A = this chain, B = another copy of it.
Amino acid sequence: MTQKPIPDIVIGRLPIYLRALTRMLQAGRQVTSSQELGERLGMSAAQIRKDLSQFGEFGKQGTGYNIEFLAKKLQEILKIDRVWKVAVVGAGDVGHALANYNGFAHRGFQITHIFDNDSKIVGSNFNGFTVQSISDMQKIIQKEEIKVAMLAVPAEVAQDVVDLLVECGVHAILNYAPVNLTVPQDVRVQYIDPAVHLQNMTYYLD
């Protein structure tokens, strides 16, 4: 049986569900419902049930979802029931903030390497990491089998760095450089540009 691929938009909502479930668990909760999740997330209960039903049966009508079980299943689906090594490229302010960010623990990721091309920074200590030279990057990423990278380099060099990352096996890139990237079809890119996010909202302001 060939399975119909799950739409990207459904996959994109799973981390949001998981985040809400994790917060419930931390609050000592054991059971929830699509209604409650919907209220928390500003979505309809039907949408949540429909999304989850694409992956199997996670709850029974009337008894709701076991939060721990559903969270564990979502982690498996998203393949974050393991820890992905993450390379940060660019040891400027954004790279610094990422290296210092404590929001990755228990969410499937661990930053293991930071690279920069500035010889004044390479070798220096950086939140417990030693900044490594970008000229060693491909060798290290291949050896460590790193598949995930966060890009925090200037826009002007972002595409060149991405080409290097893709060449040595990185398949998921979270891009903080304010520029669109061109990658092969089997490589995923997500974008974080706070100015773009803000510009998304000003249209609606008076």
Residues of chain A touching chain B, judged by Cβ–Cβ distance below 8 Å, are: 11-12, 14-16, 18-20, 23, 40-42, 77-80, 84, 86, 93-94, 96-98, 100-101, 103-104, 107-109, 147-148, 150, 155, 171-172, 174, 178-180, 182, 188, 190, 192-206
- Whether the pair A16, B180 counts as a contact (CB closer than 8 A) is yes
B contact residues around A40 at 8 Å (CB): 180, 182
B contact residues around A198 at 8 Å (CB): 84, 86, 104, 107-109, 148, 150, 172, 174, 190
- Whether the pair A103, B205 counts as a contact (CB closer than 8 A) is no
- Whether the pair A155, B84 counts as a contact (CB closer than 8 A) is no
Beyond A14-B199, A201-B148, A203-B11, whether A192 also contacts B192 by CB under 8 A is: yes
Across the interface, name the chain B residue whose C-beta is closest to A82. Answer: B202
State in angstroms the CA–CA spacing of A12 and B199 once bound together. Answer: 8
Expressed in whole angstroms, the minimum distance between the Cβ of A127 and any Cβ of chain B is 10
Beyond A103-B178, A199-B14, A200-B12, whether A205 also contacts B79 by CB under 8 A is: yes
Beyond A178-B19, A179-B19, whether A199 also contacts B98 by CB under 8 A is: no
Expressed in whole angstroms, the minimum distance between the Cβ of A120 and any Cβ of chain B is 18
